[in-house]
Amino acid sequence: MRLRVKDMDIATGRVLVATLNEKDAEKLDINALDRIKVKKGRNTETVVVNIAEGKIAVPKGKIGVSEGVVDSLKLKKNDIVDIALARKPLSISHIKKKLDGQRLSKKEINQIVWDIVNNKLSGIEIAYFVSACYTHRLTLNETVMLTKAMVGHGDILKLDKYPIIDKHCIGGVPGNRTTIVLVPIIAAAGLTMPKTSSRSITSPAGTADTMEVLANVSLSIKEMKRIVNKIGCSIVWGGALNLAPADDKIIQVERPLGIDAESQLLASIMAKKHSVSSTHIIIDIPVGKGAKIEKKKDAQKLKKEFEAIGKKLKKHIKVVITNGSQPIGNGIGPALEARDVLWLLKRDYKAPLDLERKCIILASETFRMAGIKDGRKKALEILNSGKAYKKMKEIIKIQGGNPNINPDKIKLGRYSFTIKSSKNSVVRDIDNIAVSKIARVAGAPFAKGAGIYLYKHAGKKVKRGEILFTVYAESKERLKYAKDVLKKLNPFVLK
């Protein structure tokens, strides 16, 4: 309701008060002592309501405001303000309920998610929700309801296909760019895979960062749908879409304490998958030092939870626990990883075999889940025949990139230095965390050409003077910083 400001001095003291005429108040069902939002331009102030009877104090169509409101909104007489009833969001009491250890109903969870998505809850209030999920855990049913609520309060990619394949990796391992290999293999087999991926937050590159070297990844949901309907797949940045948006707001609030409210994390992941209508999901849990999951036991537990929630959501889920103890692939950083992926798809001898092996495992498990026999053989056939590469060229082209890009010509950082082995030895270990840090200090993922290229993996023999790795940067300074970090962190442990 739009009202004209009538400057009045009916309220003294600290309270912010606005007086409405009884007729206007009646229309909006506002009572004395209710709270309303008064909006002037970009500024809003929540104030307590008084009701004026008759026409003298505040006539119909006008609003009387106390000095506090005048100051706060910089109001002048006869300004037009917009008012609306403000109350404690409904979900406040549901959050309190969960904090008291009680179970929430579907309706209550829906309300909480709705209020989060619509900015009705403050960071403090969301923090109470996260705490409640963290200390009391959600039951499996609550997790499922939360997943569905997150999906429901966001956009959904609807596709008239079956099966629809999706993939998720728990992360923490540098390189490990399986998605960009897997999607063309799966789609070349005639299956549908509308993949959305994230950018990096703390790693040297996310799938979206790497794919961006080859094509545009910021697409609308409409464009994505058109593409998937045409070529059976896509590799786009999820952040540009409005899929399960509650998730991002919850993550923001979790960050200060580094809390992972596990049941809520599961809901977040499944919501993203559910909102692209996927029916078959392969989940990769890399386990190893420096990966997100460091212990096999924790991976097993997480696997079971994924399987349980998948069953409830009537989705086929295959969880693969993989070796995450060292980087996968040779290139670390967007351009270096994009080069690896193209080499692999083009069957170039420079392709990293560890990445290839892992992609074939994931592809074969995916095929098996989708009822396709001899998955491993099929994946290899699709790769070796060039069908996967052909599909990749289709993806790059339809997403606005150059399908004929030569991986050998992908631009790397023009500044680089190499580290050689000081002795004849064997690589005992490559430190995930050190590799990530150095690549990031060198500029990845923002400087696409920055990163590290690994010439050796753990278990390999090295001769004295052989190159262990090269660091790339797009500026001299960045290269220097990487060198500085290298003085403190050693990514290669030799025997």
Among 448, 458, 379, CA closest to 217: 448
Give Cα 467 to chain centroid, integer Å.
36
Alpha helices in 215-352 (DSSP H): 221-231, 246-254, 262-274, 296-312, 334-345
Residue 12 vs 490, nearer CB to a copy of itself:
12
Compute how many residues bind a copy of itself; rule: CB under 8 A: 53
Q: Site map for a copy of itself, 40-59, x if CB under 8 A?
A: ----------xxxx---x--
Map the footprint of a copy of itself across residues 96-125, applying CB under 8 A.
96, 99, 101, 122-125
The stretch near a copy of itself (CB under 8 A) out of 212-220, 228-236, 334-342, 477-485 is 477-485
Under the binding rule (CB under 8 A), the answer on residue 164 touching a copy of itself is no
The verdict on 201 binding a copy of itself (CB under 8 A) reads no
Of 132-140, 177-185, 236-244, 336-344, the segment contacting a copy of itself by CB under 8 A is: 132-140
Q: Does 260 bind a copy of itself (CB under 8 A)?
A: no
* Contact call for residue 13 and a copy of itself (CB under 8 A): yes
Between CA 404 and CA 84 the distance in angstroms is: 57
Q: Is 193 helix (H, G, I), strand (E, B) or coil?
A: strand
**Which CB, 51 or 81, lies closer to a copy of itself?**
51
Token pair 């008012």 is found at: 83
Q: Which long-range contacts (CB under 8 A, 24 or more apart) does 48-52 make?
A: 48/15, 48/16, 48/17, 48/18, 49/17, 49/18, 49/19, 49/20, 49/25, 50/10, 50/11, 50/17, 50/18, 50/19, 50/20, 51/19, 51/20, 51/21, 51/22, 51/25, 52/19, 52/20, 52/21, 52/22
Half-sphere exposure of 56 (CA within 13 A, CB side): 1
Q: Which position among 4, 27, 32, 465 is part of the footprint of a copy of itself (CB under 8 A)?
A: 32
Asked if 267 and 151 touch (Cβ cutoff 8 Å), the reply is no
The distance of closest approach from Cβ of residue 57 to a copy of itself in the complex, given in angstroms and rounded to an integer, is 5
Rounded least distance, CB 432 to a copy of itself, Å: 16
Length of the chain, in residues: 495
Choices 133-141, 301-309, 319-327, 451-459 (CB under 8 A): range interacting with a copy of itself: 133-141
Q: Count Cβ atoms below 10 Å from residue 53 Cβ, excluding itself.
A: 10
- Residue 253 in the binding site for a copy of itself (CB under 8 A): yes
Segment interacting with a copy of itself, rule: CB under 8 A, options 78-86, 95-103, 151-159, 170-178: 95-103
Strand ordering across the sheet containing 280-287 = 165-169, 280-287, 316-323
Inter-CA distances, 136 with 99, 129, 142, Å: 7, 10, 12
Pick 141 or 475: Cβ nearer a copy of itself? 475
Q: Does 190 bind a copy of itself (CB under 8 A)?
A: no
Looking at 34-42, 173-181, 378-386, 478-486, which segment touches a copy of itself (CB under 8 A)? Answer: 478-486
Q: Does 11 bind a copy of itself (CB under 8 A)?
A: yes
Catalytic site residue from 260, 298, 348, 374: 260
Stretch that binds a copy of itself, among 91-99, 322-330, 351-359, 389-397 (CB under 8 A): 91-99
CB within 8 A of 50, min separation 6: which ones? 10, 11, 17, 18, 19, 20, 32, 64
SS3 state at 18: strand
Q: Smaller CB distance to a copy of itself: residue 241 or 253?
A: 253
- Joined together, the tokens standing for residue 457 give 């993996």
Beta-strand ranges (E) seen in 274-414 are: 280-287, 316-323, 331-332
Is-catalytic flag, 260? yes
Asked if 308 touches a copy of itself (CB under 8 A), the answer is no
Q: Count Cβ atoms below 10 Å from residue 78 Cβ, excluding itself.
A: 10
What residues contact residue 248 under an 8 Å CB cut-off, 6+ apart?
Answer: none
Kindly write out the interface string for residues 381-420 of this chain, putting x where it contacts a copy of itself by CB under 8 A and - elsewhere.
Answer: ----------------------------------------
Select from 2, 4, 12, 493 the one that contacts a copy of itself (CB under 8 A).
Answer: 12
Q: Interface residues with a copy of itself (CB under 8 A)? A: 10-15, 19, 31-33, 50-53, 57, 88, 92, 95-96, 99, 101, 122-128, 131-132, 134-136, 253, 256-259, 437, 440-441, 445-447, 475-478, 480-481, 484-485, 488
Please give the positions annotated as active site.
Answer: 260
